[in-house]
Amino acid sequence: MSNGNFTRVKKWLVGLTGVAMLVASISLSKAGIGFTGDAAWIGLVIAVSLTCAEFMFDSNFDEFNWTILVLGLAAYVYSIIANINGFYLYLGLEGTMWTNFNAKSVLGGIFMDVYPELAIAWALSESKVGDLLGNLVKSWKNPEDMTSNEQPKGNNNQQNNNNGNRGGSGNQGNNNGGGRREESGGRPQGQMSAAMSNLPRSEASSPMGYSRPEPRMSNQQPQMRPSLTPEDILEYGRRSGIKND
C-alpha cells in the first residue's frame, strides 16, 4: 500500500472514530447533566450546544472574538465535568470527582471531550485552521486581534500576491503578442501607455505621443489687394505690347 493510500485510510479511520466519539460524548454529557423524564430533551440540546460552542472555539483565530473565547472555554469546562459525571453514573461510582476522585473517569471525560473536534479536523486536513491550545496561546499573546476590524495581514499579502500574479499574466500576454519594446524611449508598452494617459488629449491621440501644432487663429484682418483702375489696365497693356483698338 502506497503512502498516499495509507494516509487516506488513516484519515477515514480517524474521521469515523471522531464522529463516533462525538456521539458518545454527547450521550455521556446528556447523562451527566442530569435531566431525566420529560426534560431529558433539554439535556440533549445542552450537550449538542456545548459541542457547537467547542467547534466555534476551534475555528480560525482570524474570526475570534472575546465572546467566542469565553463561551468556548465555559463549554469545554462544563462539557468535561458533564462527561466525568456521566462516567460516574454509568460505572456506578459513588459520589463525584470532588469527593471520590477516579483518575480513569476524569481522564476519560477529558479525552472524550477534546478528541472528536481534533480528529474530525485532522481527517479533513484542517487541523491547522484552529485548535484549543493554539487559540488559547494566540489570544494570550495577541488580545488586540480579537477586537480589531482590520483584515489579517496574511490575507492581505495573499490577495496582493494573487493580484500580482494576475497582473504578471497580463504582461506576459502583452510580451507574447508584441515581443518588442516601444521605439520611443525604450520603455515597455505598459509604461508607455501609462505615460500617454497623462498627456493632453491632443498629444495622446498621436501614435508617438505628439501631434502637429494646430494653426493659431489671428485676430488681424487679412490684407485686401487694392482694386485696379482703368489707367492701371492701360499701362499694363502698354508694357505688355498689347495694342488698344
pLDDT tens sequence across 114-144:
999 999 999 998 888 888 888 888 888 888 8
Pick from 141, 129, 159: which is nearest to 63 by CA?
129
CB 22 within 8 A of CB 116: yes
Amino acid at 56: M
In the block, cell 478528541 appears at 115
Q: What is the Cα–Cα distance from 34 to 89, expressed in whole angstroms? A: 10
CB 200 within 8 A of CB 211: no
Q: Summarize the chain as % helix, strand, coil (round to 5).
A: 70, 0, 30
Please report the pLDDT score of residue 239 as a whole number.
Answer: 76
CB 64 within 8 A of CB 135: yes
Q: What is the Cα–Cα distance from 41 to 131, expressed in whole angstroms? A: 29
Please report the pLDDT score of residue 110 as a whole number.
Answer: 95
Q: What is the Cα–Cα distance from 187 to 97, expressed in whole angstroms? A: 78
Please report the pLDDT score of residue 139 as a whole number.
Answer: 86
CB 87 within 8 A of CB 97: no
Please report the pLDDT score of residue 185 as a whole number.
Answer: 46
- Note the pTM of the prediction, 2 decimals: 0.57
For the chain, residues with pLDDT lower than 50 are 152, 154, 167, 169-170, 172-187, 196, 199, 202-211, 244-245
What is the DSSP secondary-structure string of 181-216? Answer: --TTTT--HHHHHHHHHTS-HHHHTSTTS--PPPPP
Cell numbers representing residue 114 in the block: 477534546
CB 89 within 8 A of CB 81: no
pLDDT digits (tens, 9 = 90+) for 222-245: 555 556 677 777 777 777 765 544
Q: What's the start-to-end Cα distance of the chain, in Å?
A: 128
Please report the pLDDT score of residue 127 as a whole number.
Answer: 81
Please report the pLDDT score of residue 105 as a whole number.
Answer: 93
